[in-house]
Amino acid sequence: MRLNKYIASCGVCSRREADKLIEANRITVNNELPSFGTEVNEGDVVCLDGKKITPNTKTIVLAYYKPVGVVCTEKDKHAQVTVIDDLKFPERVTYAGRLDKDSEGLLIMSNDGKLIEAMMKSANKHEKEYEVTVDKPLNGDILNKLSNGVYLPELDRTTRGCKVRRTGTRSFNIILTQGLNRQIRRMCKEVGLKVLTLKRIRVMSVDLKDYKLSPGKFVELPEKEILKLYSACGLKK
């Protein structure tokens, strides 16, 4: 097995991030610094920062309700509370898709780097649904602009077409199939709106309402739901 794939199978990070660990000389194989093309064979000892890592024997996938104020990062000396701090899960897991500090809602977290990587890949067009409230009344023109794609000058990107449904005078649901940085907030800004609240309620087949979670709480997903995620990502568990 290629080294970066092995590291991902240990739940450490994605394969792309594994390459960065290798480049930074934080990985050793049999007490030697490896190259990017190194193959890991049975009996080899792989270490991260001197600590042995091994492939996960049990797949963990969590549905976690990130509260407002919690930062989506594993380590940040400037963050008051990180996702890992708030979650307090005994094993290492990471998240599929960020939510900014001022947003709340569903995060899928897992110890399987392959699953995380597949869920985050924009080309796979996995759905994520959000509830949004804004500072001004909505009209058909605004909703059409949001659904048809909005040019974001700060990113020099035009958003992919999406589904938008008004739920109130100043609220709407939106389903995205991409995950640009602060995408919904930037989209709203370009059509003259300011986001007041933003909550992710669904990621692919996992719906927050099915688990009745309150902010800061999590649940381990049942095997049936985990298999749905793997299937949708084109992976075998």
142's CB contacts (< 8 A; 6+ apart) are 191, 192, 193
Name the band, by pLDDT with cuts 50, 70 and 90, for residue 175: very high
pTM of the model: 0.80
Name the band, by pLDDT with cuts 50, 70 and 90, for residue 159: very high
DSSP conformation letters of 198-211:
EEEEEETTEEGGGT
Say how many C-beta atoms besides its own lie within 10 A of residue 123's C-beta: 7
Q: Of the residues 19, 85, 100, 207, which is catalytic? A: 100
DSSP conformation letters of 37-87:
TPBP-TT--EEETTEE----SS--EEEEEEPTT-BS-S--TT-SSBHHHHH
pLDDT tens-digit map of 94-106: 899 889 999 999 9
Distance CA 102, CA 69 (A): 6
More confident site: 37 or 132: 132
Rg (CA), the chain: 20
pLDDT of 185 reads 97
Write down the number of H helices and E strands in the chain.
Answer: 7, 14
pLDDT at residue 172 greater than cutoff 80: yes
pLDDT tens-digit map of 177-208: 998 999 999 999 999 999 999 999 999 999 99
List beta partners, residue 220.
62
Distance CA 86, CA 76 (A): 13
Mean pLDDT of 152-160: 96
Active site residue 135: no
Share of the chain above pLDDT 90, in %: 73
Eight-state DSSP code of residue 136: S
Name the band, by pLDDT with cuts 50, 70 and 90, for residue 236: confident
Counting Cβ atoms within 10 Å, is residue 85 exposed (0-12), middle (13-18) or buried (19+)?
Answer: middle
List domains and CATH numbers for the chain.
3-52 (3.10.290.10), 61-122+205-232 (3.30.70.580), 127-203 (3.30.70.1560)
More confident site: 172 or 97: 172
Counting Cβ atoms within 10 Å, is residue 145 exposed (0-12), middle (13-18) or buried (19+)?
Answer: middle
pLDDT at residue 24 greater than cutoff 80: yes
pLDDT tens-digit map of 216-229: 999 999 999 999 99
